[in-house]
Amino acid sequence: MTDQPRIIFTRYPAFRLLCGMALGILFHSTATWNIPGFIILFSCLSLLSAGFYYRKKLVLSFWVASFALGIWVGNSAQQVQIPQSIVSEIPTTISGKITSVLRQDSLNFRCIIDGSVDAQQLPVISSSRVILTVNLLSDRENFLKVGSIIYAAGTLRTPQTPTLPMEFDERQYCKSQDVQFLMKAKASDVAIVEKAGGFPALVAEIVAALEQRIQILYSNESGAIVSALLLGNQTKISKETRKIYSLSGTAHILSVSGSHVGIIAAIIFVFLGFVRSRWLKFLIFTLAISAFIIVSGMQPAAMRAGLMAILAMLGFTLQRRVFALNILCLSIVILLLCQPILIYSSGFQMSVASVFGITIFYAPFHATFLSHLTNKSSVTEFIASSLALTFAASVTVSPLVAYYFSTFSVVSPCTNVLIVPLMSLAMIFGMASVLLLPVNVGIATTYSAATAWCISTSESINQWSVNYRGLGFNLPNLQ
């Protein structure tokens, strides 16, 4: 009897590294550390790891070093200090640079500002991150772009924790965004000190040009979905649409997720088939994936998937065997070392959990589904693969969904089996329509019609699944 494939622990050094870091992060979270205490602990662990390495005890050296890295990540992530005392609506001025845009429509502009905060009841904070909401917009606020330096006067408050079930947790969200305060200001009280320039301005111009093409090709509702799929811009999606996708358990499809990046990576890889030089192919692949992630807003899930694709391509270039679990763990380690604050991002957590589930549980689910099929064909194989993929991801993601959103949908896995392929086609057709518009309007219009049909069909399926609310139930607030 042949042995079933299993995870061999020593085959996955990145998995071991991530496990050690996870233990370090958990250990750091058990207490409040001041700077001297952290320095002493980290230094002792570093010396201990070096000592083990000097004595050729490489396994112990590896585990101690990974544990120390986890403590460093935990300490760096906790540098975001949201004031514990409640501060509500105090007059404030802020001067700083727009680092990212969270929402933009005809009424409001919401962004993250890196700069100096001067509040009447607080000392001046020279280095702070604030979510600024600008109301009553006019044409001149079109200059509010990523990279612009502004001065604004308004009211400042601290983020609040939820008091009722299903309420939005402002503190958790702000912590995941490395933000300390929330601020509101009227458009008339915002002054542009310096317009955006350089690379951020170039990216903003490219995104604006793509948004204009989407407006030409699509209706408002379909265009909002296409903007979310291609550019990561969810600000135009109506509340009703958001609610339907959320209740059906398919809200993840409205953001640039790992599956979208995977599709883009596959398309790029196919188009690079004519390139003979492996390193040239790797360079073009890396630049193309990076460009898509930057234009789509650098979502945590997209960064994780993009880094995984690049690492897998690197293994292919070096003609090395690639293990999915190793690539996943290495990408997580790299992202956490570069952005420790990602450990608080719910999107990053769910993205990682879903891929972990697929990596570990896909094969058993797939084998189980195939064993119950009598007539095997390409259609049944596709159905079995889709069901296995969805159920494998749901096993690990469902607890996080229940924790963050206090809801669980039994019909969600089945809905995802139908929605994910449709929305994947919508993304492919939508990208083709946007890119081909300057070349041939007729072809672009044909692709846009196919995209609109995929979106409309997906919304109909979601509406049907929402009508069967008995297949899902709400949970008490677990946060």
Q: Residues 114-127: what's their mean pLDDT? A: 79
Give the three-class secondary structure for 277. coil
% of the chain residues with pLDDT over 70: 88
Residue 85 pLDDT class (50, 70, 90 cuts): low
pLDDT tens per residue across span 151-163:
999 998 888 877 7
Q: Residues 383-398: what's their mean pLDDT? A: 83
**Structure tokens that stand for 130 in this block:** 């604030």
Give the three-class secondary structure for 259. helix
Chain centre distance of CA 55:
42
User: Considering all CA atoms of the chain, what is the largest pairwise distance in Å, rounded to the nearest integer?
Assistant: 76
| Amino acid in the structure at residue 238 | S
Strand 90-104 to strand 149-157: parallel, antiparallel, or no bridges (unpaired)? antiparallel
Scanning the structure block, which residue is given the tokens 């990602």? 342
Strand ranges inside 158-212, DSSP E: 181-186, 190-194
Q: Residues 286-301: what's their mean pLDDT? A: 87
Name the phi and psi angles at 131, rounded to 5.
Answer: -85, 115
pLDDT for the residue numbered 3 = 47
Residue 77 pLDDT class (50, 70, 90 cuts): confident
pLDDT for the residue numbered 409 = 66
**Structure tokens that stand for 321 in this block:** 């065997």
pLDDT for the residue numbered 478 = 45
pLDDT tens per residue across span 28-53:
888 878 888 889 999 999 999 999 99
Spell out the residues 6+ positions from residue 426 whose beta carbon is closer than 8 angstroms to its own: 225, 226, 229, 451, 454, 455, 458
Mean per-residue pLDDT over the chain, rounded: 82
- By the 10 Å C-beta count (0-12 exposed, 13-18 middle, 19+ buried), 166 is classed as exposed
pLDDT for the residue numbered 380 = 78
d(CA 399, CA 342): 19
Scanning the structure block, which residue is given the tokens 């607030």? 477
Asked whether 186 and 134 are in contact (CB, 8 A), the reply is yes
d(CA 434, CA 71): 45
Structural element, H or E, at residue 314: helix 300-317
**Sign of the CA dihedral with 386 first, then 388, 389, and 393 last:** positive
Asked whether 61 and 52 are in contact (CB, 8 A), the reply is yes
Asked whether 306 and 314 are in contact (CB, 8 A), the reply is no
Name the phi and psi angles at 248, rounded to 5.
Answer: -85, -5
Find the range with the poorest average confidence among 310-319, 340-349, 429-438.
Answer: 340-349
pLDDT for the residue numbered 447 = 93
Would the pLDDT of 467 be above 90? no
Scanning the structure block, which residue is given the tokens 């955006």? 196
Q: What predicted TM-score, i.e. pTM, was given to this entire model?
A: 0.79
pLDDT tens per residue across span 161-181:
777 666 677 777 777 677 888
Spell out the residues 6+ positions from residue 340 whose beta carbon is closer than 8 angstroms to its own: 72, 73, 74, 76, 77
Would the pLDDT of 8 be above 50? no
Residue 142 pLDDT class (50, 70, 90 cuts): low
pLDDT tens per residue across span 239-290:
778 777 777 777 777 777 777 888 889 889 888 888 888 899 999 999 999 9
> So what's the architecture of 90-196 in CATH?
Beta Barrel (2.40)
**Structure tokens that stand for 229 in this block:** 């799929």
Q: Residues 382-407: what's their mean pLDDT? A: 78
Asked whether 350 and 400 are in contact (CB, 8 A), the reply is yes
> Where do you find CATH 2.40.50.140 in the chain?
90-196
d(CA 268, CA 197): 30
